[in-house]
């Protein structure tokens, strides 16, 4: 072989090793992702607003469930499932938990289920008006969730994980301004521009060898309630299935990046609303607001991915336990009900800590935990995970009272935060 040809061949082989290699050091993770449509196959009652007077009238945007499976170098797995539904009912969590245990030997602490909390999705409790359709939908949803988890795990292949974050500003605290004197007319108005918010948008990126991003998981702390109806004709609302702003954010990201699966994880947004919303601006349809907020959030994700991106390494460490939340005793002759509340902490090496909390969690939990767990690892706090059963107030919200303040005992915040710290400390050893 001539010297020049030999030199060219050597350079080409070196380049292939540098840029086309798929060895374990470049791709230490395995990842698989799957997605499926979960839009009801017939019109049915929708969840989120009890004042609705009729079932749905159609579909403005399909609803999706998506699964991301991760495996570290030791073979430990984590599965994250996101869904465009109102919440993770306990029996839905139990079904998927049992399925992954029997089929894949995945322990409960390695399964995360999060709902976007769209109020334009199906009501799958068996309410009086729609028991038959709710039952059929639950069976349909369970089958779809089992399928995408199986598919995501079957697709496990070498991957890189990285993370970044940006900010998005359409969420505003929706509670009254309790800091103002009661005589001030602004104290009785919501939204409250001076109330606590969490505008951070954390992003987890998954990249496979030789491809662009194959999956991106992102979060925002805001009620997914731009819409109550998609339009109004002669004062009659039209109810259509849609993922609201979270659905349009995922759609925008996927439209701009063919082959990408975008997954939204709801944050601690129980006392946060997207603004503007509903019919706040004359001549602007609510659907336009949902689409605009979705694009705004998607652009924040894109901004994060263009900013300071850091690698995420293993191993996966996880813990899940239930804490007892007690209610105040209203009737001295009756026992006050308590509930078992899921708290989950997941560590991805020393790079990322994910704390997932059940039901509708106010923003104070996210702000406090990110402050108290601050360190080398990025802290990500999600609400609406693994359970759905009403609002979870902080001590501040309990003292203020109001819509997001059911009658839990004042120690509720310390019980939940204390359990997060306990699990976090355990995973450090």
Within-domain flag for 381: no
SS3 342: strand
The interaxial angle of helices 131-154 and 90-104, nearest 10 deg, is: 30
Rg (CA), the chain: 23
Dihedral sign, Cα of residue 52, residue 53, residue 58, residue 63:
positive
The count of domains in the chain is 1
Model pLDDT for residues 248-270, shown as the tens digit of each residue: 999 999 998 989 999 999 999 99
Within-domain flag for 154: yes
Residue whose pair of structure tokens reads 């988890």 in the numeric block:
149
Residues in the chain: 429
Q: 35 — phi, psi (to 5°)?
A: -145, 145
Within-domain flag for 304: yes
Instruction: Please confirm whether the linkage preceding 268 is cis (ω < 30° from 0).
Output: no
Within-domain flag for 291: yes
Lowest mean pLDDT among 110-114, 186-190, 324-328, 399-403: 186-190
d(CA 223, CA 240): 18
Query: What percent of the chain lies above the pLDDT cut of 90?
Result: 74
Model pLDDT for residues 102-159, shown as the tens digit of each residue: 999 999 999 999 999 999 999 987 665 555 678 889 999 999 999 999 999 999 999 9
Within-domain flag for 302: yes
Spell out a b/e string for 307-335, using b for 16 or more CB atoms within 10 Å of the CB, else e: eeeeebbbebbbbbbebebeeeeeeeeee
Confidence of residue 59 (pLDDT cuts 50, 70, 90): very high
CA angle 406, 407, 408 (to 5 degrees): 100
**What range does the domain containing 134 cover?**
29-314
Residue 111 CB neighbours (<10 A): 25
Within-domain flag for 52: yes
Task: Name which of 178, 214, 141, 92 is nearest 399 in CA terms.
Answer: 178
Query: What percent of the chain lies above the pLDDT cut of 70?
Result: 93
What is the reported pLDDT for 390?
Answer: 93
SS3 letters for 208-270?
CCCCCEEEEEEEECCCCCCCCCCEEECCEEECEECCHHHHHHHHHHHHHCCCCEEEEEECCCC
Tokens of 180: 């103002």
């Amino acid at each position: 072989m001539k010297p020049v040809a030999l030199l060219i061949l050597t350079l080409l082989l070196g380049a292939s090793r540098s840029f086309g290699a798929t060895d374990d050091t470049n791709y230490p993770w395995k990842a698989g992702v799957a997605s499926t449509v979960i839009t009801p196959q017939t019109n049915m009652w929708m969840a989120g607003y009890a004042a609705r007077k009729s079932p749905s009238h159609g579909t403005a945007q399909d609803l999706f469930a998506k699964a991301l499976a991760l495996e570290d170098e030791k073979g430990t797995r984590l599965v994250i499932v996101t869904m465009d539904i109102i919440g993770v009912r306990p029996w839905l969590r139990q079904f998927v938990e049992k399925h992954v245990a029997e089929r894949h030997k995945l322990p409960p602490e390695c399964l995360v289920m999060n709902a976007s909390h769209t109020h334009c999705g199906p009501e799958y409790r068996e309410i009086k008006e729609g028991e038959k359709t709710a039952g059929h939908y639950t069976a349909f949803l369970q089958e779809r969730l089992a399928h995408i988890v199986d598919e995501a795990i079957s697709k496990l292949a070498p991957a890189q994980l990285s993370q970044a974050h940006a900010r998005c500003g359409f969420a505003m605290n929706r509670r009254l301004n309790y800091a103002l004197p009661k005589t001030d007319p602004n104290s009785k108005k919501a939204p409250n521009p001076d109330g606590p918010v969490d505008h951070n948008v954390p992003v987890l990126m998954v990249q496979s060898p030789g491809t662009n991003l194959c999956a991106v998981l992102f979060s925002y702390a805001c009620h997914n309630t731009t819409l109550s109806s998609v339009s109004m004709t002669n004062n009659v609302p039209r109810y259509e299935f849609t993922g609201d702003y979270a659905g349009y954010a995922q759609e925008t990201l996927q439209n701009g990046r063919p082959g990408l699966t975008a997954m939204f994880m709801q944050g601690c947004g129980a006392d946060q609303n997207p603004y503007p919303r509903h019919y706040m601006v004359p001549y602007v349809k609510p659907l336009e607001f949902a689409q605009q907020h979705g694009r705004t959030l998607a652009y924040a994700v894109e901004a994060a991915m263009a900013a300071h991106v850091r690698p995420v390494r293993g191993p996966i460490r996880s813990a899940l336990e239930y804490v007892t939340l007690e209610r105040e005793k209203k009737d001295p002759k009756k026992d006050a009900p308590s509930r078992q509340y899921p708290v989950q902490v997941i560590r991805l090496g020393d790079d990322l800590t994910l704390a997932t909390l059940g039901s509708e969690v106010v923003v104070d939990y996210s702000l406090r935990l990110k402050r108290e767990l601050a360190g080398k690892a990025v802290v990500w706090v999600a609400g609406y995970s693994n359970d759905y059963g009403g609002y979870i107030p902080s001590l501040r919200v309990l003292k203020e009272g109001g819509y997001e303040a059911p009658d839990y005992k004042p120690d509720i915040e310390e019980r939940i935060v204390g359990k997060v710290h306990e699990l976090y400390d355990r995973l450090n050893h």
